[in-house]
Amino acid sequence: MNIFIHELKAYRKSTFVWTISLIAVVVLFMSMFPSISKEIVEFTKLLEGFPEPVRKALGLEIESFGSILGFYSYMFLYLTLCGAIQAMHIGTSIVSKEVRDKTADFLLTKPISRTTILTAKLWAALTTLVITNVVFFIGASIMVAQVSTESYSVKSFLMISMTLFFTQLIFLSLGIVVSIIFPKIKSVLTVSLGTVFTFFIIGLLVSTTDDDIKRYLTPFKYFDSAYIIENSSYEISFMLTGVGIIVISLIASFIIYTKKDI
């Protein structure tokens, strides 16, 4: 329990910064919606001037861009990018910092198992992400309600917003397994940004094609907002893939961490 509380305190400042940043992005983008919705005809003509592959890569759906959920979906691509960086950074640093800060010897000589240590750190990271998402969802709900000029599906809005948390869980688990396999990470930020942006760029390239198989290559494409709005559900195959990545990464993390010579 002391490890759990210690990790929460250690990440409270970054949690606050990331949460405020995500809300700021929502406020910035959604404050543009009233003006865009009023001039949607002219704006649509402008978007049609972009090549279709560019529109797909940027997440621009002309048919739904003038609706509140369509515009929110477009903005959510960049919110997910920010959230993924936060989760990857936490996952990569929460274990590797013990080696980097030379506190691993002190921690591992305590009368607690490595499984307990890793579990406490994992729960702390998960709690941090939950706090971020709860506060973000409240802020996003208020902002969307303020600028909306039409009724919208609250269920679809909630489901789209939840994809941020799901994506963060994937990157958190990837970050943890990377930090355990390569504990002597000199720059956590470099590894986090490099990994996330690599997957993000792959997602942009995949968006220019209609090949669903390639979507499995990047977590950024596991949740299609257009599909969610139309069907009020997630795509099961991609959900299972995401869950599989999380489970395999965490199992591998516990196995390697309990046997690794720190």
Cβ neighbours, 10 Å, residue 102: 9
Predicted pLDDT at 105: 56
Taking the C-alpha atoms of residue 31 and residue 41, their distance in angstroms, rounded to an integer, is 19
End-to-end CA, the chain: 22
Confidence of residue 62 (pLDDT cuts 50, 70, 90): low
Q: What is the CA radius of gyration of the chain?
A: 20
Q: Which residues contact 26 (CB under 8 A, 6 or more apart)?
A: 75, 79, 136, 139, 140, 143
Cβ neighbours, 10 Å, residue 100: 17
Angle at 93 (CA atoms; ends 91, 97), nearest 5 degrees: 145
Q: What is the DSSP letter of 209?
A: S
Taking the C-alpha atoms of residue 173 and residue 122, their distance in angstroms, rounded to an integer, is 9
Predicted pLDDT at 37: 77
Name the average pLDDT for the chain.
Answer: 85
Tokens read off for 50? 């972009």
Per residue in 106-163, pLDDT (tens digit) is 555 666 777 888 888 899 999 999 999 999 999 999 998 888 877 888 899 999 999 9
Predicted pLDDT at 4: 85
Taking the C-alpha atoms of residue 256 and residue 259, their distance in angstroms, rounded to an integer, is 5
